[in-house]
A = this chain, B = another copy of it.
Amino acid sequence: MSGNDQAQRVAEAVRTVPMFRGLAPEAQSHIAGLATLRDFRRGEHLWHEGDPPESFTIVVRGRVKVVKEGESSDVIYELFGEGEPVGAIAVYNFMPYPAGAVALEPTTLLVLPRRDWFELLDRNPEFARAIIRELTRLVLGLTRKLDEMRGQTVETRIAQLFLTLAERIGRDTKDGTELPIQLTRQEVADLVGTTVESAIRVLSRWGREGVLVTGEKRFVIPSRERLRELAGSGGETTRGPLA
């Protein structure tokens, strides 16, 4: 029974994943026959840095951070949401995962054994295109992060972070833009490359000033325009004596 339920859940997951959505029903059920689902709790590791990648994985529910864990501080490289393949690089090259992955929320993964995935790749050239698209997205995100990181003040970088999040996962409500995502101040700090304390200083001040309000498992941006001003004016540090 529950085996049957499981099979149904897998089948539905395959149907909803963008990469597989366009396939013929038979192809979809073929894939569903090879795949399984795995559930993770918030904070649980999907894998650790250095693990060998046994499978190709796609997020079907929840959100995941890919993070390089240093002894004293971490760096979050990227966030992955529903429908996105995660860890594709390691699987493709069969290299140890260059970074760990941690669930930010209760998360479900669609799991395809390496071997099966490569067979599919051989037979469906469009899958290679999907991977290229995904890697492209990664590269653009990383270059963006790189120039955000540079020179700018911490406040500016955090403002840019939340603007990016607003574009990707923001919902408009009557109180402003809502970001239904749970991030600790530590995680915000890791995302922009600073310390917890600095992140806290900015966010608590923003809370007082009404720029960005931290709520239960979400953030609210009353006015994106305010944020955009803060994000834009970070380049110039010391204003000349004249200005």
Binding site for B on A (CB under 8 A): 68, 70, 72-73, 75, 77, 89, 92-93, 98-99, 122, 125, 128-129, 131-133, 135-136, 138-140, 142-143, 145-147, 149-151, 193, 235
Contacts and interface: CB of A to CB of B under 8 A. Distances in A.
20 contacts: A68-B147, A70-B235, A72-B235, A73-B150, A75-B150, A77-B143, A89-B139, A89-B140, A92-B132, A92-B136, A98-B140, A99-B143, A122-B125, A128-B129, A131-B132, A135-B136, A135-B139, A146-B146, A146-B149, A149-B150
Nearest to A140: B98
Contacts of A132: 92, 128, 131-132, 135
Contacts of A150: 73, 75, 149, 193
A136 B125 CA distance: 18
Given A99-B143, A128-B125, A143-B68, A93 B149 contact: no
A93 to B, nearest CB: 6
Contact of A151 (B73, B139, B146): B73
**Number of copies of this chain in the oligomer?**
2
Contacts of A129: 128
A134 to B, nearest CB: 9
Main secondary structure of the interface of A (DSSP, over half): helix
Contacts of A99: 143
Max count, chain B CB within 10 A of own CB: residue among A72, A140, A147: A147
A161 to B, nearest CB: 14
Contacts of A75: 146-147, 150
A122 B132 CA distance: 14
Contacts of A70: 147, 235
Contacts of A128: 125, 128-129, 132
A132 B132 CA distance: 6
Nearest to A73: B151
User: 9 tightest CB-CB pairs across the interface, nearest first?
Assistant: A135-B135, A142-B142, A128-B128, A150-B193, A75-B147, A89-B136, A138-B139, A77-B143, A68-B147
